Amino acid sequence: MKSVYSSIIEDLLVPFYDIVRQTSRSKCRRVLEKTQYLSRQEIDCLQTYNLRLLIEHAYKSVPYYHNVFKERGLKPHDIKTILDLEKLPVLTKATIRQNFVDLISREVSRNELISYSTGGTGSPLRFYITKEKISWEVAAEYRAYAWAGYRLGDRCFMFWGARRDLNLPKFSFTYYAREFAGLLQRTMVVDPFVLSEEALSGFAAALRKFKPQVIRGYAMPVYMTAKFLVEKGIDDVRPRTVITSAEMLFDPMRKTIQEAFGCPVFDHYGSREIGAIASECELHSGHHISAENVVVEFAENGKSVEPGQSGVLLLTGLRNYAMPLIRYEIGDVGEPSDETCRCGRGLPLMKTIKGYESQFLGVRDKSSGRIIPISSHIDFFIDLLKSPPPNYRIIQESLSHVVIKIVAKGKNYSDEDVDLLVRELRDCLGNDVEIEVQFVDTLPPLPSGKRSPVISKVNPFQDEFSK
């Protein structure tokens, strides 16, 4: 149930914001609130309709896609269903950079283009969006947050580490707009760049003083703070809900967060390129895909995998007419589901997000000679040592060379801990791999603000490795 303050924010201030900023978040939110309860068949039809509109637009106004269709002897009517997308190539980050100008629609006014970029482990990926795309994106995001019991205006404590969001130029319009919005929405944002004992103590004190109804943010700092509270016996931080995003939420992390805060944890999956992609509802039976806004394919070498199998996620954003991204390989791995959630929503389910492509170590299968991905170690390593993942990072430089970077040997790790980690890696990768251990003073987060425990430069999902 919405509070009076939430009703004022959502029913009065957001529509006023739409008028001032020429956006349509309120309208899009009303639409999505209704469509989520359509039947699965009706949602599939709506998704297909939106896809056909996008394909027609891309063919007519986007030079890159017009050339792709021409080279393959295709016309827009050849893409009748989601399955027909396999007729089109996978769109990689490299392809976007190489064809940047030709991916911009010639029918969208240059005044409507909004420049955006990603974080990620490497250099940011630039792309363009429109206010209409942002409206649908925000509407889907806050619809998903409502499943977790969060409404605009609830007191929200937010862990956010993306430097581009935090380091806005002071005295700029964007800076003041963010500060004013945070004040109205009663949101406190903290920077989890450093997760030292002192920083965690500061987060705990701020949480106790702020008394949030909702905690949101990167999964790892939320987990680290929860672990700190449990260890210190602090049990008076009692939000209504916790929403994690941006990083993998493993089961041991979820259990610790639930124990610390005494409330359910909801995982949200999204990206800057696409927006809100999939989120858990109150039944936690998987992640509901925002099918009105995005097509999610689970593929291996560009072909769809069956439920129960893992595949690279290929995303088609249905609302970005400025710079359509069709079959975009975002770099994540997931598992599709053919199950139906009992919550009553017809939105399709993603069974699980398995991790990022860059977190899958590659090992050569002796029988076939192919390079195959392994990921089970990531979940296992969470509990393997006495300290959580931010204190070590595994980097696979090549098939024959792995580096383990460990923080503060002697404080968190004994020689036995290090030997155990090396043995487990050898069991995964074989005896022919050189495992180098480096002790470092600190492991800062990646440029995106995320703290990945594993980074692999060998991508077993790519053709050049899989053949």
Give the per-residue SS3 of the chain.
CCCHHHHHHHHHHHHHHHHHHCCCHHHHHHHHHHHCCCCHHHHHHHHHHHHHHHHHHHHHHCHHHHHHHHHCCCCHHHCCCHHHHHHCCCECHHHHHHCCHHHCCCCCCHHHCEEEECCCCCCCCEEEECHHHHHHHHHHHHHHHHHCCCCCCCCEEEECCCHHHHCCCCCCHHHHHHHHHHHHHCEEEECCCCCCHHHHHHHHHHHHHHCCCEEEEEHHHHHHHHHHHHHHCCCCCCCCEEEEECCCCCHHHHHHHHHHHCCCEEEEEEECCCEEEEEECCCCCCEEECCCCEEEEEEECCEECCCCCCEEEEEEECCCCCCCCCCEEEEEEEEECCCCCCCCCCCCEEEEEEEEHHHCEEEECCCCCCEEEECHHHHHHHHHCCCCHHHEEEEEEECCEEEEEEECECCCECHHHHHHHHHHHHHHHCCCCEEEEEEECCCCCCCCCCCCCEEECCCCCCHHHHC
- Whether the Cβ atoms of residue 345 and residue 281 lie closer than 8 Å to each other: yes
> Comparing 155 with 195, which gets the higher pLDDT?
155
pLDDT at residue 370, as a whole number: 63
What is the reported pLDDT for 278?
A: 97
List the single range of 40-44, 112-116, 238-242, 248-252 with lowest mean pLDDT: 248-252
- Pinpoint the residues of the chain covered by CATH 3.30.300: 360-466
Of residues 224 and 122, more confidently modeled? 224
Residue 465 pLDDT greater than 50, yes or no? no
* More confident site: 387 or 118: 118
Digit-coded pLDDT (tens) for 410-424: 556 677 778 887 887
Residue 155: pLDDT above 80?
A: yes
- Give the pLDDT confidence score for residue 354 in this predicted structure: 72
Q: Report whether pLDDT(448) > 50.
A: yes
Edge-to-edge strand list for the sheet holding 434-440: 434-440, 401-407, 392-398, 454-456
Residues of CATH 3.40.50.12780 domain(s) within the chain?
4-290+318-323
The reported pLDDT for the residue numbered 119 is: 62
**Predicted local distance difference test score (pLDDT) of residue 301:** 83
Examine the pLDDT at 252 and tell me if it is beyond 90: no
Residue type, 134: I
- Both structure tokens of 399: 């098939």
Residue 121 has pLDDT above 80, yes or no: no
Is the predicted pLDDT of residue 409 greater than 80, yes or no? no
Antiparallel, parallel or unpaired: β 361-364 and 371-374: antiparallel
As given in the structure block, the two tokens for residue 194 are 């450093």
Q: Which residues contact 188 (CB under 8 A, 6 or more apart)?
A: 155, 156, 157, 158, 182, 206, 210, 212
Phi, psi of 96 (to 5 degrees): -65, -45
What local confidence, expressed as pLDDT, does residue 184 receive?
65
Domain 4-290+318-323: top CATH class: alpha beta
The architecture of the domain spanning 360-466 is 2-Layer Sandwich (3.30)
Mean pLDDT in residue range 458-463:
60
Higher local confidence (pLDDT), 88 or 123: 88
Tell me the per-residue pLDDT of 332-366, one tens digit each, with 9 for 90 and over.
Answer: 889 999 999 999 999 999 987 776 655 667 777 66
Lowest mean pLDDT segment, chosen from 16-30, 110-124, 206-220, 236-250: 110-124
The pLDDT of 18-42, averaged and rounded, is 93
| Residue-wise pLDDT tens digits, 52-105 | 999 999 999 999 999 999 999 999 999 999 999 999 999 999 999 999 999 999
Q: What is the pLDDT of residues 291-318, one digit of tens each?
A: 999 999 999 888 899 888 888 999 999 9
